[in-house]
Structure 1
C-alpha cells in the first residue's frame, strides 16, 4: 500500500495534464446554473432560490480552491479566467490564492500569527479587541455562529484590510483588487441590469449563504496539536457535502497530497484510509451531522491558541 506524502511535495498526486476536463466541466455546470437561476429568479419561490443560490456560490468557492492548486489548467491566468469570478462578492481571488498557499505551510497550521486561516487568536490579539469584537469571535466558535455571523465578519475584516492597504499604498495587497473590481462589476451588471434582481436579494439568496456554506467546510478542518500532521481533520460525509466541498472534507489527504485533483480524492482516500488516520492521529469526524450535534451551539475549542 502506498503512503501519503509530505505536504512540501505540492505536486504529489498531480497527473500530467494541460487541461483537466472534469474541472472544466464542473465550471460549465456551475456557471450555467448561476446564469439560469439568476435569470429566472422571479419565477423561483424564495424558499427554493435560497438553497439553490447557497449551493451554487458555495461550490464555486470550492472551484476557486481547486484553481489555487493548479486546476483546471497549468496556466494561472487561465485558471483566474475560469474560477476568478467572485460570486460571493467580497474576497478577491488573488487574495484568497495568496493566503491559502501560505496556509499550506503545514508546520504553521493553526498559528494565528503565521496561518491566515487559523480560527485561533493570540493573547495579545485578544487584549487588543474591544468588547463587541470579543463577543463576535466567541460566538463564531460554534458552528451556528460561524455560519450566521461569519460571512459579514470576514467581509468587514477584508474591507478593513483593503482600507489599511490603501493608506499604506501596499501594492502587493492592492493588486488582486484590480481584477476583483472588474469581476464584481460584471457579476452585478448581469444580476442587477440584465436579470433585474435587487442587490439585497442577491446578497441574501446567493452571496451571503454561499459564503456561509464555505465557512462550514473550514470550521472543522484544523485543530492545534503538537504534531502538525495531527492538526488536519477527516470528515467522512455523504454525497451532498462531499460534492459541495469537492471532497476537501478529506482534509488531511489534501494537505498531504495537495496536488491531487478533487475527483481523484475519494479513490485515493479509500486506498490509504488507515495510513491517513495514523498520520493525523485519528482526527476523524463521522459527518457534518455529528459536527452539528456536537458543536452547533458549543465552541469546538478554546479561542486562544494553546501555544506549547
Structure 2
C-alpha cells in the first residue's frame, strides 16, 4: 500500500519556502535577520534529511532522497550520510571508535598518534560550547579528508554520491548568488550556525554503557524539539527508527518508565540542564573508556571513517 506521511512532506515544503523567502525578500532589507532565518532552516533541513534516510515520508527511497536533494548546508552528500548513519544504527556497536562512524570517542592508539594541539582541541570539543563552536569545523574537515581518501580509492558508491550532491549544489549556489549573498558569508553565517544548532542535540546523544540500550539519551523537553524533529527522545528513535518524527512524543509518553529503564536512566530534563553541567567542562573523555585501549592498533584496524555527522543529524 502506498503511504505518504503528509506532515513531513508539508514541513519539507515549508523548509525550502522559508529559506527562499528569507534570501529573496528579507535579505535585501534585513540581512542579519535573513541569515538567522536561513541558519535555523538549514538546521531543520538537516533534521529532515535524517528523517528521509530512515524511510520517510514515503516508501520510495528515491523519492525520499529527491525531496531533500537540495543541500542547504552544502557539505554532506545525502548518500554518504545515509551510509554512515545507518551503520551507526547497529546499537551493539554504538560509541565504538572503530565500528561506529558517528562516535566522538577515539581509540587510545589514535589519540596517541595525534599532535598535542589536536588532542587539546578534541578535549575542548567535548565541552558543549566547544562542540558548538569547533564541532562543525572539525567534523567537516575530518569528513572531507576521509571522503577524499575514499574518492581516490574509488570506494563503492562514493563517486556517485558526490556526483549527485554536486548536482544538488548547483541550484543552491545559484540561488545564493542570485540573492546577492556572498558564498563565504553563507558558509560563516548560515552553514556554521546551522551545524552548531544540530550539535546541541548530538553533543550528548550517546555515551558508553555496558548495555547497548544504555548508550542513547532522553532529553525530556526542549523548545528546540521541533527543530530536531523530536530526536531529543533519542532512545525511542533508535529502538523504532521506522516511527515518524511526529509520533515520537506519544510513544515516549505512553511508556515513559519503560524508556527510562531501558536506557538505564540516561535522562536530562532539558538541554539547559546539559548546558549548566557541561558548557565548559568535558562530558566525556576523548579516549574511549573501555574499547580499543591498546597503544598500537591491532590488525586489521586502521583509522575509522570520520563521522559524517560532525554537524549533521545523528
- Cα displacement (A) at 1:111: 0.5
CA RMSD of aligned residues (A): 1.3
Question: Given the alignment, which residue of 134, 140, 149 partners 1:149?
Answer: 134
- Cα displacement (A) at 1:130: 1.8
Gaps of 5+ in 1: 1-15
CA separation of 1:196/1:50 partners in 2, compared to 1, >3 Å: closer, same or farther? closer
Q: Alignment partner of 1:73: what SS?
A: coil
Distance across 2 between alignment mates of 1:272 and 1:175: 42
Contact 2:22–2:35 (Cα < 8 Å) also in 1: no
Match of 2:207 in 1: 223
Pick which of 204-213 and 250-259 moved more: 204-213
Please identify runs of 4+ aligned residues in structure 1 that moved more than 3 A.
none
Question: Given the alignment, which residue of 97, 100, 123 partners 1:112?
Answer: 97
The superposition leaves residues 83-136 of structure 1 with CA deviations (integer Å, 9 ceiling, x where unpaired) of 132111111111110011001100000001011111100001101212232122
- Cα displacement (A) at 1:255: 0.7
- Cα displacement (A) at 1:201: 1.9
Distance across 2 between alignment mates of 1:280 and 1:171: 35
Match of 1:197 in 2: 181
Q: Alignment partner of 1:243: what SS?
A: coil
Contact 1:143–1:297 (Cα < 8 Å) also in 2: yes
Q: Alignment partner of 1:43: what SS?
A: coil
Distance across 1 between alignment mates of 2:24 and 2:187: 15
| TM-score, normalised relative to structure 2 | 0.89
| TM-score, normalised relative to structure 1 | 0.91
Pick which of 158-167 and 68-77 moved more: 158-167
CA separation of 1:174/1:129 partners in 2, compared to 1, >3 Å: closer, same or farther? farther
Distance across 2 between alignment mates of 1:20 and 1:200: 36
- Cα displacement (A) at 1:45: 4.3
Distance across 1 between alignment mates of 2:147 and 2:206: 27
Distance across 2 between alignment mates of 1:165 and 1:230: 33
Match of 1:284 in 2: 267
- Cα displacement (A) at 1:74: 0.7
Question: Given the alignment, which residue of 14, 23, 37 partners 2:22?
Answer: 37
Contact 2:75–2:140 (Cα < 8 Å) also in 1: yes
- Equivalences, count: 290
Contact 1:20–1:72 (Cα < 8 Å) also in 2: yes
Pick which of 203-212 and 69-78 moved more: 203-212
Q: Alignment partner of 1:42: what SS?
A: coil
Q: Alignment partner of 1:183: what SS?
A: helix
- Cα displacement (A) at 1:153: 1.2
Distance across 2 between alignment mates of 1:26 and 1:163: 33
Match of 1:273 in 2: 256
Q: Alignment partner of 1:115: what SS?
A: coil
Is 1:303 aligned with 2:289? no
- Cα displacement (A) at 1:213: 1.0
Pick which of 276-285 and 202-211 moved more: 202-211
- Cα displacement (A) at 1:18: 2.0
